[in-house]
Structure 1
Amino acid sequence: MSGRTLITGIGVAAPSGLGVEDFWAATRIGKNAIGPVTRFDASSFPARLAGEVHGFEAGDHLPGRLVPQTDRVTQLALIATDCAFADAGIAPGDVHPCDMGVVTAAGSGGLEFGERELRKLWSQGARHVSAYQSFAWFYAVNSGQIAVRNDLRGPAGVVVGDQAGGLEAFSYARRRIGKGSRLIATGGFDASVCSFGWAAHLAGGSLSLSDEAERAYLPFDGAASGYVPGEGGAIVVLEDEDSVRARGGRNVYGEFAGYAATFDPRPGSGREPGLRRALEGALADAGCHPDEVDVVFADGAGVVDLDRVEAEAVTAVFGPRRVPVTVPKTMTGRLGAGGAPVDVVSAVLAMREGLIPPTTNVELSPAYDIDLVTGRSRTASVRTALVLARGHGGFNSAAVLRAVD
């Protein structure tokens, strides 16, 4: 094994678009994908905005027998995986099934499927509950279904870590490749835009209650009042560099070069939050000096206290306004376990084009001494990118992506 872990294929299903081309076409120009909830009647809830994946019909992409067995989140993950393998140019037989695995991140599993079956249980009785409920709700179901559909017989796993889980899945996949696997499909998806999922979001206490789609989710803005949820995510193909060369692969987006994770200390302890240590750890793991980083894809919680912690961590490591910072998820909402994988996709596409996507709708508060890319995208040479993500309860993660010549 060469030691370098490369991204060779991408599949994305996000509010901004299905597929890499549609997604990037919308992201690069700052197209808003947040709007009124349409997947369920949210009129009785105090929050009524979401980033939804529109125009997706599972039956157009998946076998008819599979559709009633799976939740929407799994359907989106399966389609993204199909796209990632096709993008990588991998055909059956190119890699032995035992040399390929899958690691995904999930926050909750198939909530919409589970809610529907629970309604049947309450209103019609146990005989009317689908047998597929036994696994369709489970947070590990995406990894299982991806493995079955693509004949992946190597290592398999799932990470549950909210927004930070997506980067942890990448790290786990990289470790498996370091131990001998040639290829791992990895990333994350969540789809909790249903009344059951909405109750969970509201219980967290950080949901934006604004009805203005373009002013509801405002990280690093003085008017920040919480986040807007979204659905979707991304799956990428990670391969060892020697494996890519052996199979004649030519499509390389970049290198997953470094990673670190930390936990915040107990509230009230007086100790420093852990995000800065995660950031520094990822740079050290990649052998990367702060001056080499061309852009930071921030977590962007949209909660004043959390935004302050993130801005202070970035400023402490890079210096005041020394590195461009962006939060393109302002176009889609926070996608849970799918959010950081989508940021990774945005980062490597930014490298490919030489363009940093914008943080839309935000007016940077003078309280934060960061160079936030707002309004419109910024042309720049992007060779190294840092992606930050945080999960509910104090889980911090950071990843370094590097261009490959």
Structure 2
Amino acid sequence: MTGRRPVVTGLGVVAPTGIGAAEHWAATLAGELRVRRIEAFDPGGYPTTLAGQLTGFRPEEHVDERLLVQTDRWTWTALAAARLALADAGYDPADQDPYATSVILGSGSGGNEFGQREIQALWTRGRRAVGAYQSIAWFYAASTGQISIRHGTKGPSGVLVSDAAGGLDSLGWACRVIRRGTPAVLAGGTEAPISPYALTCQITGRRLTAATDPRDGYKPFDRRASGHVPGEGGAVLLVEDAAAAARRGARGYGEIAGHAATHDAHGFEDPALDGRQYARAMERALAAAGAAPGEVDLVVADGAGSPDLDAAEARALRRVFGEYGVPVTAPQGLVGRLCAGGSALSAATALLAMRHGTLPPIGNLDDPDPAYRLDLVREPRPARVGTVLVCARGHGGFNSALVLRHAGDGP
């Protein structure tokens, strides 16, 4: 990337591992499994009964009461995460020109819980029982819009829809917006896909585990991997032009040095298992960052938790880095797959690894499959973390890769 340098100055985390970056990081290093039986409804009639769920999240602490009734839970988490990111960065959009701040998020499932409730009202009580907010609360761009309204931002804004790759893609677009002259962008994503309707939709993807014990659930790169569990939450990051951040004395977590996205163009239901387009996304992201594979200190992998998808990812990583060529982690085994929120959370985790000089372990990994021939991080590993590659894949063939570099490294 050339020209303006995008740096991350604020992290807002709302995840099963904690509310706030500090809680999330501590739980991740401790390997605390935050997957449990679904509590929002009785999942007994579904083939999947486990999910990563928020603990200690009180929406009223982050969202005005009048807005709570107009929006879905996924928007509540996005509003909370954005607020935390701004506070972490010491950045108040109200102190800036309205056009100086943008909001660009990834989105996957939208406001499904709100939508299900209104559809039920329609079919049980008739059209007059459907509220006016149904027209906007479910919409996949609702969180972007509500954050913009709440903070009075008028910079170029949008939403990326590429399933689990969306969080990284939103950060890539944030870099483009900054290079075009907007000083600050809120980017990332959150999800709340734990409702009967949302779970039914996810079951059709045939990738959810049938395990009933959380320890047997989502297990990236494990011999006993049997699919993933859904999860709620994610992360919103404040990305700023490095010069603008320096003028106000902000400390950056790291620079977004490169991003690339590819598509398998293989088939919606059956993913390409050769890993070639996935590896191409990694190579292009590294090239955009001007980084060689040997400079990467850590890969935060997609870690799908299905044997065939994990094998395809291992194949792609070996193509880029060689066998055992780079430490690989996937902490999301602790929280489930958070769709677009998951890759945003992975980016936040990577930046925390840089700041604390520690490689976080893979979540819920007990018996690594040696066939993958990867250097899988089993325990927290002290290390100098100057460059991290974060990877994500979305259902339907989306691939995304993001290179993060320590703010003091590189040219």
Q: Which amino acid aligns with 1:83?
A: L
* Separation in 1, partners of 2:114, 2:59: 14
2:371 aligned partner: 367
Determine if the alignment matches structure 1 residue 258 to structure 2 residue 262: no
TM-score (normalised: structure 2): 0.95
Query: With structure 1 as the length reference, what TM-score do the two structures score?
Result: 0.97
C-alpha distance in structure 1 between counterparts of 2:185 and 2:62, whole Å: 22
Question: What are the within-5 Å matches in structure 2 for residues 6-405 of structure 1?
Answer: 6-246=7-247, 248-266=248-266, 273-362=276-365, 363-374=367-378, 376-405=379-408
Change (3 A) 1:270 1:294: closer
Gaps of 5+ in 1: none
Offset, 1:92: 4.8
Q: In structure 1, how many angstroms separate the alpha carbons of the residues matched to 2:309 and 2:363? A: 19
Whole-Å separation in 2 of the counterparts to 1:285 and 1:182: 21
Per the TM alignment, residue 43 of structure 1 is displaced from its structure 2 partner at its CA by 1.1
1:108–1:138 Cα contact (<8 Å) kept: no
Q: Deviations over 1:182-240 (max 9, x none)?
A: 11100011111000000011010010010110121112122111111101110011111
Q: Quote the sequence identity (%).
A: 46
Query: Match for 1:317: what amino acid?
Result: V
* Most deviating of 314-323 and 187-196: 314-323
Whether the 8 Å CA contact 2:273–2:312 is kept in 1: the answer is no
What SS does the aligned partner of 1:396 have? strand
C-alpha contact 1:265 1:271 (8 A) present in aligned 2: no
Q: What do the CA deviations read for 1:92-134 (whole angstroms, capped 9, x no partner)?
A: 5542111111000110210000011111111111111111111
- How far apart in 1 are the matches of 2:40 and 2:100? 39
CA contact (8 A) 1:208 1:216 kept: yes
In structure 2, the CA distance between the partners of 1:272 and 1:254, relative to structure 1 (3 Å rule), is closer
Render the CA deviation track for 1:234-261: whole Å, top value 9, x for unaligned.
0011111111123x13221000110111
Counterpart-to-counterpart distance in 2, 1:168 and 1:249: 28
Q: How far does residue 301 in structure 1 lie from its aligned partner after superposition?
A: 0.8
Residue type of the alignment partner of 2:263: F
Q: Distance in 2 between matches of 1:395 and 1:272?
A: 12
Code of the aligned partner of 1:111:
N
SS of 1:397's partner is strand
SS of aligned partner of 1:235: strand
How far apart are 1:57 and its partner, in Å? 2.0
Rounded Cα–Cα distance in structure 2 between residues aligned with 1:131 and 1:224: 44
Amino acid at match of 1:257: A
AA in 2 matched with 1:97: P
Aligned residue for 1:274, secondary structure, equals: helix
2:274·2:316 contact (CA, 8 Å) conserved in 1? Answer: no
Q: Secondary structure of the equivalent of 1:107?
A: coil
- Give per-residue Cα distances to partners, 1:352-399, cap 9 Å, x unaligned: 11111111332211211000012x211111110000000001110000
Given that residues 384 and 400 in structure 1 are in contact (C-alpha distance below 8 angstroms), is that contact kept between their aligned partners in structure 2? yes
Shift in Å, 1:60: 2.5
Number of residue pairs matched?
Answer: 403
State the Cα deviation string for residues 13-68 of structure 1 (Å, max 9, x = none): 00100111111111121111000100111111111000001222212222111110
CA distance in 2, matches of 1:270, 1:200: 23
The Cα shift of 1:271 comes to: 7.3
- 1:404 offset after TM fit, Å? 1.1
Distance 1:320 1:82, change over 3 A: same
SS in 2 for 1:209: coil
Q: Deviations over 1:146-200 (max 9, x none)?
A: 0000111110100101001111111111101100101110001111100000001
Amino acid aligned to 2:381: R
Q: Which amino acid aligns with 2:70?
A: Q
Structure 2 residues without counterparts, runs of 5 or longer: none
Distance 1:163 1:272, change over 3 A: closer
Q: Is the 8 A contact 1:34 1:332 kept in 2?
A: yes
Q: Residue 2 of structure 1: CA displacement?
A: 4.7
Check the 8 A contact 2:93/2:101 in 1, yes or no. no
Choose 229-238 or 261-270, whichever is displaced more. 261-270
